[in-house]
Amino acid sequence: MPSKIGKAEDEKGFVSAEGEIGTPESLPEPERPPLRHIDKYIRPECPCLSKRYTMAVLTCVGFMISFGMRCNMGMAKLKHGNETNMFNWTVSVEIAVDSSFFWGYLVTQVPGGFLASMYPANMIFGTAIAISAFLNLLLPGATTISPTLVIIVRICQGFVEGVTYPACHGIWRFWAPPLERSRLATLAFCGSYAGVVLGMPLSGLLTGGISWKAPFYFYGIAGVVWYVVWLWLSFEKPSKHPTISARELMYIEQSLGQSAQLAMPTIANTPWRSFFTSMPVYAIIVANFCRSWNFYLLVLFQAKFLQTTYNLQIEETGFIGALPHLLMTLIVPMGGLLADHVRKKGILTTTNVRKLFNCGGFGMEAIFFLVVAYAQTAVTATAALTLGVAFSGFAISGFNVNHLDIAPRYASILMGMSNGIGTIAGFMCPIATDSITKDGSRQSWKIVFIMAAVVHFFGVTFYAVFASGELQPWAEPSAEEKKKVWNPLEEGDLPKSSVRVQDYQGQVNSHGPTYGSVEQTSVAGHQPPMYPSTNPFINHAEQQPTNPFINHVEAVQPETKDGYYKYGTVDDGAY
């Protein structure tokens, strides 16, 4: 019997609709891929998480390891309080070591977007973290041999890690329903800040308590272990997961609609001219550059600032330096939930939500950076840094997920472009900061933080004027591409199945949300049922004519003739 439940998000991450809905047992059983050997002994799932949130948590941990590794060298250089004496490096060599990671990081940003389009994005992301972790194990030996070898290894680390952000957007192209983009993306991206939260104090403890080599070995081994878990639990898309529930599969696929079925872009059919003439794209690029400047300023120089200006010990710089990023780690996913809530309720448009969160976050961080510049005590400086970085966490629900709003099909490529430009800040910031703070005086650090505030104020102004949260005309599929999307209801020779397509379609429209980033064509003679509910996950074409996520009848997981979705039968067991 159908059951009535209130509109609420259950422990699996689903949003239920008020009114009559079907039970999980009443949903048609989708065809599944065959179980891998390990799956026959241990099911690839986390008991308390849905599959899409499992992907988000694992991605978060991957970013934590990636950004934790970036804290290792800074702490190693502070081992004896004078980084130039420890390794006998000159200032120019030190600048080269600090910026070398970004030389490789810049090169693979845009190619990373295409790799994520051509190959499974989850494999691109996981392999990049694993290789970087292996290279991290080589850094202690390289450091004792030659600074040139250190620079080469760090360039290679940047080269492989350059694909991580574009690949992450490639993952969410298939896994993130439109109205959950902010929360899933920010949950994944908060790993970069959580990585700094753990990386600074942990590197400080390992460096001070064991050896300067210990952080490199710890994070290298952690990255390899994470990769094994990632290979077990991550999948390219929901339809390839062997144990995903029918309910979650239909929810994701139906909400994404045709946008997930369109052919992936290639270099030839990518609208490059539109990219470079679109002001919303430039707004994202400018915001990414401004954010990268201040983020890398803190990651690379926060410990040095606290030590040279306020004479803090290395362990203290690790823990105190982690405070701002700890608060930001909490703010980033909360901001994602709030942004999605405001959009679902129709309080603000997507454009206004992105502008409010981005400009508010950047603006508050810029103000608190000015406080840091004029702070006279360590307590004042730390408090201002903590509050400023915390507020900037809201900006991640602005520019960092904006690619998926304006061009979901090209999101990984746009992320590569914007992150590539942002990486230039990784070059410029260490060079500028090392040059300004050569004497280590408080006045020199004052200039550094005033400059950081000016960078943010520029970003606020540009994004507020030119940003957009709407699907851009050049990002919509052409008429030819829409025709190429296979619709089983339009085929004369339907494949055989134990579940009739019409019945499957009816189940989808009865139990699943019906919105998507691309409007779909209604099948003649079939109209979605009407409900008296106000749940934004339910399609009310007549009641909500202006809802951009309104969708029409669409087969959630059509069978294909080439065996793309061919699975063996497995008991669902998720509910």
pLDDT of amino acid 482: 57
Report the alpha-carbon distance of residue 445 to residue 436 in Å, rounded. Answer: 8
**8 A C-beta contact, residue 104 and residue 158:** yes
Read off the pLDDT of each residue in 33-44 and give the average, rounded to a whole number: 81
- Using the predicted structure, report yes or no on whether residue 259 has a pLDDT greater than 70: no
Residue pointed to by tokens 């490789």: 104
The Cα 378–Cα 382 span in angstroms is 6
CA–CA gap between residue 62 and residue 382 (Å, rounded): 28
Give the residue extent of every domain in the chain.
51-475
The answer to whether the Cα torsion of 100, 103, 106, 108 is positive or negative is negative
- Please return the burial class of 70, using the count of CB atoms within 10 Å of its CB with bins 0-12, 13-18 and 19+: buried
DSSP 541: T
- Look at residue 138 and tell me whether its pLDDT is greater than 60: yes
Tokens of 70: 């970036």
CB 387 within 8 A of CB 368: yes
Q: For position 345, what pLDDT does the model report?
A: 85
pLDDT surpassing 80 at residue 541? no
Asked if residue 22 has pLDDT above 50, the reply is no
State whether the Cα torsion 271-277-281-284 is positive or negative: positive
pLDDT for res 467:
92
pLDDT of residue 355: 93
* pLDDT tens sequence across 284-341: 999 999 998 988 888 778 878 887 888 776 666 667 777 777 888 788 888 888 988 8
* Span 425-462, pLDDT tens digits: 877 888 888 888 887 788 889 999 999 999 999 999 99
Average pLDDT, integer, range 272-276: 88
Distance of CA 73 to the CA centre of its chain: 25
Please tell me the distance from the alpha carbon of residue 414 to that of residue 475, in angstroms, as a whole number: 11
Buried b / exposed e across 217-232, counting CB within 10 Å, b at 16+?
Answer: bbbbebbbebbeebbe
CB 71 within 8 A of CB 203: yes
Mean pLDDT taken over the chain: 75
- As a CATH number, domain 51-475 is 1.20.1250.20
User: Cα separation of 31 and 51, whole Å?
Assistant: 17
pLDDT for 357 equals 93
Average pLDDT over residues 371-376: 90
Number of other residues whose CB lies within 10 A of the CB of residue 333: 24
Terminal Cα-to-Cα distance of the chain (whole angstroms):
16
Spatial separation of the C-alpha atoms in residues 515 and 318, rounded to whole Å: 46
Provide the percentage of residues in the chain whose pLDDT is more than 90.
21
Angle of CA points 158, 428, 323, to nearest 5°: 75
323 CB-side CA count, 13 A: 16
As a whole number of angstroms, the distance between CA 20 and CA 24 comes to 13
pLDDT of residue 430: 81
Whether the CB-CB separation of 319 and 201 falls below 8 Å is answered with: yes
Pick the most confident of 224-228, 296-300, 386-390, 528-532: 224-228
pLDDT at position 143, please?
A: 84
Local confidence band at 483 (pLDDT 50, 70, 90 cut-offs): low
Q: Which of 191, 137, 180, 77 is nearest to 536 (CA)?
A: 180
